[in-house]
Amino acid sequence: MHYRSFGKTGLKVSLLGMGCMRLPFKDENDGSQGVNREKAYELIRYAVDNGVNYFDTAYSYHAHDSEAVLGEALAEGGRRKNVHIVTKQPFGAMTTQADIRRNLENTLKKLRTDYIDVYLLHCIMQPFWPEIQKREIFAEFEKFKAEGLIKHIGFSYHGQFPTFKEVAERYPWEMCLIQQNLLDVNKEVTEQAIYTAHKNGLAIAIMEPLRGGGLCQAPKPVAAVYDSFPIKRTATEWALRHLTNYPEIGTLVSGVNTLDQLKENIAICSHPDMVAGCLDDGEKALIVSARKAYESIVTNPCTGCNYCVPCPHDVDIPGAFRLYNDGHRFENFDQPRRSYMFSRRGGRGANKCTHCGICIPKCPQEINIPKELQVAHEALDGWEE
């Protein structure tokens, strides 16, 4: 495993970071889905034992259970001392100033630790930024740092570059978590955010390096591009190499949910040549061609982050978009339509959308969700058996 300096934090972090937003599920007795703890423990402990020292979670992930699962997994064998824990508190959970401390204290208990390596203000988006400044959230975090409850302060951000630049330069943050991948070079915060963050001394962690797993399976047009290159690599490796090439980036946070995925990611990020500047001009040109091939396929930009749910009408928004995208990426809608039939019969189909619009401001990708749900429903509906 390769390790990189992490901005002005002074930390050394593994090139591959493990995200804990997509831990494996199991069905509960009440019909709901909870984290499959045994499988999650296996993933987390395997990651630690094989060089991963950066773990990303958040207050709200997995219905407020992700932090507890991570803490439980790291408690065995004293693994906590070998890793850096990065977790986040969302602005939406800070109803009062007292809530900010209360939420942190609960997080520390769940993680079974007396300090957090980097504590992030979670998911800053342009509509919330003015109120965040009024509430002096950063000052509250500074108090926690002075008390030794957190070591470093950062933020995660979804949105466009102008507001990101304003946020990054507003306070002496030490780290930022941003979305980038080979499809988002000119989207989200854009490539420019990487350079701006680095210029301001911020450690940089990348979320969605594989676009919610979507970049791991190359559709035919993209596969043809990759196959044309003399050096043969998987779609996953090309996506991770694209980001590894940036010397400014500290770690790539991959949200795995199977051991095979984790092993593949660790193997890729342990290759001797997985270092800054790993791409030559021909490889960079190949990735540009792959991006154009991806963009030629009409898909929905949903990453499955689940910020849009629960829907007041119980529409499975991420599920509908995932099935719609799968149909396009795999160039076959049979299985997505069959799966959608069960969702629709369970009362969770996109046809239940009332266009209330509550989901729209919650979406980090700025998707017009009601409109795109209608598109997805028209493409997926019709399978009966």
Query: CB under 8 Å, gap of 24 or more: what pairs does 97-100 form?
Result: 97/135, 97/140, 100/137, 100/140
Binning pLDDT at 50, 70 and 90, where does residue 233 land? very high
Of the pLDDT bands very low, low, confident and very high (cuts 50, 70, 90), residue 13 is: very high
Contact 315, 350 (CB under 8 A): yes
Q: What is the mean pLDDT of residues 148-176?
A: 95
- pLDDT above 60 (res 111): yes
- Could you tell me the pTM of the whole model? 0.83
Q: Tokens at residue 9, please?
A: 């934090």
The mean pLDDT of 93-102, rounded to a whole number, is: 93
Residue 118's pLDDT band, with cuts at 50, 70 and 90, is: very high
**Alpha carbon 274 to chain centroid distance?**
21
Q: Is the pLDDT of residue 199 over 80?
A: yes
Least trusted range by pLDDT, from 25-29, 107-111, 182-186: 25-29
Q: Is residue 233 classed exposed, middle or buried when 0-12, 13-18 and 19+ CB atoms within 10 A define those classes?
A: middle
Report residue 29's pLDDT band, with 50, 70 and 90 as the boundaries. low
Cα distance between residue 207 and residue 147, in whole Å: 29
C-alpha closest to that of 60 among 252, 310, 303, 300:
310
Provide the residue ranges of all domains of the chain, joining segments of one domain with +: 3-295, 317-380
Is residue 273 very low, low, confident or very high in pLDDT (cuts 50, 70, 90)? very high
207 in Cβ contact with 184 (< 8 Å): no
Distances (CA, A) of 177 to 99, 203, 222, 226: 23, 9, 28, 29
- In eight-state DSSP terms, residue 24 is P
CATH classification of 3-295 is 3.30.110.40, yes or no? no
What pLDDT does residue 336 have? Answer: 86
Residue environment code for 278-312, b if the CB has 16+ CB neighbours within 10 A, otherwise e: bbeeebeebbebbbebbeeeebbbbbbbbbbeebe
Q: What's the pLDDT band for 385 if we cut at 50, 70, 90?
A: low
CA distance 127 to 92: 12
Beta strands in 140-289 (DSSP E): 150-157, 175-179, 203-207, 251-254
Of 93, 96, 172, 166, the C-alpha closest to 125 is 166
The secondary structure element, H or E, covering residue 88 is strand 84-90
Mean predicted confidence (pLDDT) in 226-250: 97
In the prediction, which pLDDT does 355 show?
96
Q: What is the pLDDT of residue 341?
A: 87
> Which pLDDT belongs to residue 30?
62
For the cut 60, the answer to whether the pLDDT of residue 234 exceeds it is yes
The residue among 60, 63, 54, 70 whose CA lies nearest residue 20 is 70
Percent of the chain with pLDDT over 70: 98
Strand partners, 176: 155, 204
Mean pLDDT, residues 241-257 taken together = 96
Confidence of residue 300 (pLDDT cuts 50, 70, 90): confident
Query: What is the separation of C-alpha 315 from the centre of its chain, rounded to a whole number of angstroms?
Result: 22
- pLDDT reported for residue 31: 61
**DSSP code, position 6:** -
Convert the pLDDT of each residue in 306-351 to its tens digit: 899 999 999 999 999 988 988 887 677 888 898 898 788 888 999 9
Whether 298 has a pLDDT exceeding 70, the answer reads: no
pLDDT band at 7 (very low <50, low <70, confident <90, very high): very high
Mean pLDDT (the chain) is 93
Per-residue confidence (pLDDT) for residue 80, from 0 to 100: 94
One-letter amino acid at 133 equals Q
Q: Where are the alpha helices (DSSP H) in 245-382?
A: 259-268, 281-295, 317-329, 334-345, 369-380
Q: What is the pLDDT of residue 32?
A: 66
